Amino acid sequence: MGIIEEFSKLCLNEKPLDGGICVKSLVFKPKTAKGAVPVPIVVVALQTTATPSGLIAQMTSLKDPRLARDELFESFFKCGSAKEFNLGYLSCAESKFHLLVDEKLEALDESVELQLNEQLFVRKGGLVAYLNRFEAQTVDFSQEVAKVEPKKKQETTSTSAALEDAKLIGITVDKALDFPGWYQQILTKGEMLDYYDVSGCYILRPASYAIWEQIQQWFDAKIKGLGVQNAYFPMFVSSRVLEREKDHIEGFAPEVAWVTKAGSSDLEEPIAIRPTSETVMYPYYSKWIRSYRDLPLKLNQWNSVVRWEFKHPQPFLRTREFLWQEGHTAHLTVEDAKQEVLDILDFYAGVYEELLAVPVVKGKKTEKEKFAGGDFTTTCEGYIPQTGRGIQGATSHHLGQNFSKMFNVSVENPLGSDHPKLFVYQNSWGLSTRVIGVMVMIHSDNKGLVIPPRVSQYQAVVIPVGITKKTTDAERSNIHASAKAIEDRLKKAGIRAFGDYNDNYTPGWKFSQYELKGIPIRIELGPKDIEKGQVIVVRRNDSRKYTVQLNELETRIPEILEELQRDLYLKAKELFDTHRVIVEDWKDFVPNLNRKNVILSPWCGVMECEEDIKDSSAKKDDGEELEQDEKSPSMGAKSLCIPFEQPELKQGQKCIKCSRPAIQYCMFGRSY
């Protein structure tokens, strides 16, 4: 243990005044043939540097690295657990390991103070000297695979997720082989989103926010048509109010973020940040609603909510802060309320199917999966082909009178004051930026983002082509002017178009660039096209080419965009349809899950049986690797929904799992 002591000598005696720059050290274990000894990978990087596992795999030529479990720390580094590990243990290593060091860390001044964990602080110079003993490899985590030396590239096996022809700026991970790595690259390189300094929070860059704006515009008009008005309620809620509906708060309590300080003063009482606004709003519904003439009250807000989940966060799908709309309505009759639940669900399905070209199945959640505190939940469920997992799209809840009784939202009986007062019937419904993640996962490919034209920030890019060294200045400016004229005509026709007339880049470079960003069509214009009075249009999704006459621009381009929109939908729908299978015999259940299907099975409707199905369909943990949430094959099947559209139930049909009679078909699947 001598060298651990030596490492401890490197450490500073006191915490630096500014805390020091945070440095993380991660240990990964690659996938190894059974029985073979794994070579661990240690990554030392600035806390703020993202260290994608796809890149780590590439840098080490090792397969599928995952965060190591305690066992490995114990057997390899002689260290009790992952938690106890620090860089001092490197000197205790059983045998050779890989050590990757963040280039950004190496770039710091020698005297900079670093924070390794809450107790360990060290100067950069000392740390790097220490690491270099272990043949540390410097890595530019922002540059990624294309910079790997040729030798290493050749070592890469054919099953590696790295794309053979990946360009420097392009996507370097194969969607089919490393879906999570691909998803991260596609979002960041496509400039949709960036990772943020606070874990679980992400930056929505203009390319994704513009999609949200399109959705807002469409949905907002729909709900205003139903008489819904927008409002804004505070993001804070006192604990007393938050905790008033017991079932409801039980569902959210573990994820609530609490403000306890303002400036340097402690607040008298901690204040929660809303995880959703039922309890924020309903005390005021109670105040505002006095008479049945005040009904229906239909309010909606576009806001952000915070759910401090401790599970593995994922851009758009599971984030600690997310944008959404939440509608909260109060009705005199249960019929009115229930009708609205379904109307809203249709709008949600419309957002997916009409705007995002994503097919969904509408249905009702089981008792186990419904919104805590409500009467029932309706949902539209999507499907991610690569993982074979279902994904909850958006939910519309009927709350019954549960909240109205709790918050005393009631009106005089229209029959007269001698009749008992009536508690209102309430709904709440929400759709979040998760929709963008689902859309990206479904349509995008190894060249980058594919975005349906109805929602994409830009629908068309105009690119001059055919300019060579022989092109004269006059010809060049003629091409540019013609291209600009096309751009202007498209804009005038209401198409979100732009042009790229930069002479410093080749057309090929530009093509890749806008493929990466998912611009639905590119419009090429060269000298020959000008002669012929035409442009070449290329679709992003399948590179299909069209020749469009200039005089037909304003009619053909919108048609091509709409065809593209429809084709995206049809392709996704076929995948969903062929991977949604009816299974009536339990022995076929898990094999079908493993074939990346979601399953429609006859079911008894009993909660214990649902739990049993989940347990029985989970692959048992083999003790080798930490469950990584985004690719876990060990996950059991949950009920996704009881689809409104039901296969016919046979006479005497039994539940798929237990001996009780089936009462309906339920859709099950592994899920997000």
Q: What tokens appear for 395 in the block?
A: 């939910």
Which region among 15-23, 132-140, 329-337, 388-396 touches a second copy (by CB under 8 A)?
Answer: 15-23
Q: How far is CA 20 from CA 16, 46, 47, in A?
A: 6, 11, 11
- Nearest residue (CB) to a second copy, 258 versus 644: 258
- Nearest residue (CB) to a second copy, 75 versus 502: 502
Which region among 198-206, 415-423, 466-474, 480-488 touches a second copy (by CB under 8 A)?
Answer: 198-206
CB < 8 Å & 24+ apart, contacts of 590-595: 590/616, 590/617, 593/388, 593/617, 593/637, 593/669, 593/670, 594/633, 595/388
Instruction: Tell me the residue ranges of DSSP E strands in 288-374.
Output: 297-306, 321-331, 361-364
Any contact of residue 204 with a second copy (CB under 8 A)?
yes
- Nearest residue (CB) to a second copy, 33 versus 232: 232
Q: What tokens appear for 228 in the block?
A: 């819904």
Any contact of residue 203 with a second copy (CB under 8 A)?
yes
Subset of 366-405 contacting a second copy (CB under 8 A): none
Which region among 55-63, 129-137, 210-218, 552-560 touches a second copy (by CB under 8 A)?
Answer: 210-218
Interface pick for a second copy out of 75, 81, 143, 238 (rule CB under 8 A): 238
Give the residues across from 538 on adjacent strands.
522, 545
Rounded Cα distance between 97 and 78, Å, is 14
Q: At closest approach, how far in Å is the CB of 506 from a second copy?
A: 15
| Contact present, 377 and 371 (Cβ < 8 Å) | yes
Instruction: Tell me the residue ranges of DSSP E strands in 401-541.
Output: 410-411, 422-423, 425-432, 460-464, 497-499, 521-525, 534-539
Q: At closest approach, how far in Å is the CB of 116 from a second copy?
A: 13
Subset of 88-127 contacting a second copy (CB under 8 A): 118
Interface pick for a second copy out of 155, 164, 213, 346 (rule CB under 8 A): 213
Subset of 495-534 contacting a second copy (CB under 8 A): 502
Q: At closest approach, how far in Å is the CB of 23 from a second copy?
A: 13
Cis previous bond, 633, omega within 30: no
Interface pick for a second copy out of 12, 39, 146, 235 (rule CB under 8 A): 235
Start-end of H helices in 579-606: 589-594
Give phi and psi for 553, each to the nearest 5: -50, -50
Interface pick for a second copy out of 256, 435, 495, 538 (rule CB under 8 A): 256
| Contact present, 128 and 106 (Cβ < 8 Å) | yes
161 three-state secondary structure: coil
Q: At closest approach, how far in Å is the CB of 631 from a second copy?
A: 26
| Contact present, 269 and 239 (Cβ < 8 Å) | yes
Give the residues across from 601 on adjacent strands.
666
Any contact of residue 250 with a second copy (CB under 8 A)?
no
Rounded Cα distance between 482 and 474, Å, is 12
- Nearest residue (CB) to a second copy, 255 versus 630: 255
Q: At closest approach, how far in Å is the CB of 286 from a second copy?
A: 11
Residue that has been written with the tokens 């690719």 in this structure:
631
Rounded Cα distance between 176 and 169, Å, is 20
- Nearest residue (CB) to a second copy, 305 versus 538: 305
Interface pick for a second copy out of 18, 531, 585, 645 (rule CB under 8 A): 18
Any contact of residue 86 with a second copy (CB under 8 A)?
no
Nearest Cα to 347, choosing from 414, 283, 435? 435
| Contact present, 329 and 646 (Cβ < 8 Å) | no
First to last CA, the chain: 44
Rounded Cα distance between 85 and 10, Å, is 16
Any contact of residue 600 with a second copy (CB under 8 A)?
no
Nearest Cα to 10, choosing from 151, 147, 125? 125
Q: At closest approach, how far in Å is the CB of 41 from a second copy?
A: 24
Q: At closest approach, how far in Å is the CB of 10 from a second copy?
A: 23
Q: At closest approach, how far in Å is the CB of 52 from a second copy?
A: 16
Q: At closest approach, how far in Å is the CB of 671 from a second copy?
A: 23
Interface pick for a second copy out of 95, 264, 417, 472 (rule CB under 8 A): 264
Q: At closest approach, how far in Å is the CB of 65 from a second copy?
A: 25
Any contact of residue 236 with a second copy (CB under 8 A)?
yes
Any contact of residue 253 with a second copy (CB under 8 A)?
yes
| Contact present, 498 and 458 (Cβ < 8 Å) | yes
Interface pick for a second copy out of 1, 6, 8, 19 (rule CB under 8 A): 19
401 three-state secondary structure: coil
Subset of 296-315 contacting a second copy (CB under 8 A): 299, 303-304, 306, 308, 310
Interaction site with a second copy (CB under 8 A)? 18-19, 22, 118, 142, 194, 196-198, 201-206, 209-210, 212-213, 229-238, 240-241, 253-264, 268, 270-271, 273, 283-284, 287-288, 293, 299, 303-304, 306, 308, 310, 320-321, 323, 457, 502
